[in-house]
Chain A
Amino acid sequence: MENSSAKSLRLLYYRYKDTQWFSLSIAVFILLIIALLIGRVVFPQVQNWLSIQNEVASTRQRLEILRSNEQQVQLMNDAVLNTQLQTVTSALPVEKDFTGVLGSVAVAGAKAGVSFDDYTFQVGPLSTKAAALTQDPSIELSFIIRGSLESIILFLKEISEKVPLSQVVSVDYTETGANISLLFFYKVIPERIPISYTEPMKQIQGNNATLLQTLGRWKEDSLYTGIEIPATESAQPFN
C-alpha cells in the first residue's frame, strides 16, 4: 500500500505534467544540477589538474638539478676533496690551532730573518660553543721581533701568505724592533650543515679555484720544519 505522500506526489505529477510549469521546473532542476556539478566536481577537478601541472613543472626542475648534482658527484674524487678540505681547514681552522699559528709565525720569521723576543697569546674562551656564536672568531697573538724595518716588512708579507690566515692588528716599530699584534682566524663547523640535494651544488671554479690554488701554495709554504720560537714563561698558555 502506497503511503499518502507518494500518492499526493503522483497526483501532483499527473496534474502538472503537461503544464509549462512542469517543463520549467525540470529545466531549472537541470540548471541547478549543472551549477552543483561545476562547483563540486568540475572546478575542484580543474584545480587539482592545475596543481598537478605545477607540481610536474617543479618536479621536472628538481630532477634537472638532481641529475646535474649526480653528474657532479660522480666526477668528484674523494682524495681530491680530502686534500681541498685540508687546505681550506688549514687556512681557516675549525678550532684554535695554536700549533699552526706558532708554526706559521716561526716559518715567516725564519724566511724574513727576524728573531723573536717575547710573545703572548690572548687565548679567550676555549669552548667551540662560544666561538660558534661569534661572527669571526680569532686568536690574537702579540710578539716582539728584532730586525730592521726591511725585515719586518718582509715578515709582514710572509705572514700574510701563510696559513692559518692572519690579519695585522698593529705594528709598533722602533729602531730596536717591532711589537706586532696579529689576529688568526678560525671558524667552528656548525652542528647542522644545511645540505639540500635539490639545490644546485656550488662548483669550485673561477675565483674560488684560484683562491684554493693560492691557499694550497701558502699551505705548502707554511710547513713547519722544526724552526723554534724561543719561548718565555709568559708564552706557555697551556701550562
Chain B
Amino acid sequence: MSNEINLLYSKKQGGSVAIKARILMLRYIALGLLFIIGVISVIVFILILASPLPELKKQESALLTSLSTSHSKIVKQVLITSRLQDISKIVAARPDVDDQIVDLRKKIPLGVEIKSLRVDTKQMMVTISAASLLGVESFTQELTKMGNSDKTVRGVSIDSVEFTPGELYEVAYTITYL
C-alpha cells in the first residue's frame, strides 16, 4: 500500500489531461457550430417564408388577366408596328427613279434631246440626239462630273456614237449604279 500522496501529475498523466482538455474544447466548438448552423437554418427558413414572391405572382396574374381582355387591341398594335417596320424597309430600299431621271434631265444642254431612256435598278441607258458636237461634249462632261462626284454611280460609259443622214448626232451612254 502506498503511503504517499502525489499532488502533481506525472508526465504521462499531464499529457492525458491536456488531450482531454483539447477534446473538451473540440466538443464545445462542435456544439457551438451546431447551434450556429441551426440558427442560420431558421433565419433562412424565415426569410423564405417572408418572401414577397407569392404576392408578386398574384399581381402578375391579375395584370395578365387584365391584359388578356384587351388582346385584340394588342394584336392590332403589334400588326401595325410590324407592318410599319416592313414598310420603312421597303421605302428606304426602293430607288428614286423619278429623281434619277430629273437629275439627268438637268444635265441636258440646249439643243440636245433624250431620244430613248432605259432605267432599271442597276443602270440607266440614255440615248441623246444633238445637232452639234458641242451639245454632245457638254453633256458628256456633265456625265463625267457626275461619275466622279456621285457616290452612287459606279461608272459612266459611251456605248455608241452615230451620225444620221438628218445631220444629227446620236450618242448612247450607260450609267451604272452601285
- Listed in ascending order, the chain A residues whose CB lies under 8 Å from chain B are 20, 23-24, 26-27, 30-31, 33-34, 37-38, 41-42, 45-46, 48-49, 52-53, 55-56, 59-60, 62-63, 66-67, 69-70, 73, 76, 78, 81-82, 84-85, 88-89, 91-92, 136, 149, 152-154, 156-157, 160, 165-175, 185, 187, 189, 193-195, 197, 201-202, 204, 207-208, 211-212, 215
Contacts and interface: CB of A to CB of B under 8 A. Distances in A.
Contacts of B64: 66, 197
B109 to A, nearest CB: 16
Contacts of A157: 98
Interface of B, secondary structure class, is helix
Interface residues of B, number: 68
A49 B80 contact: no
B161 interface: no
Contacts of B149: none
A34 B24 CA distance: 17
B67 A156 contact: no
Contacts of A165: 87, 90-91, 94
Contacts of A201: 74, 77-78
Contact of A59 (B24, B56, B101, B119): B56
B164 to A, nearest CB: 14
B53 to A, nearest CB: 5
A194 B24 CA distance: 68
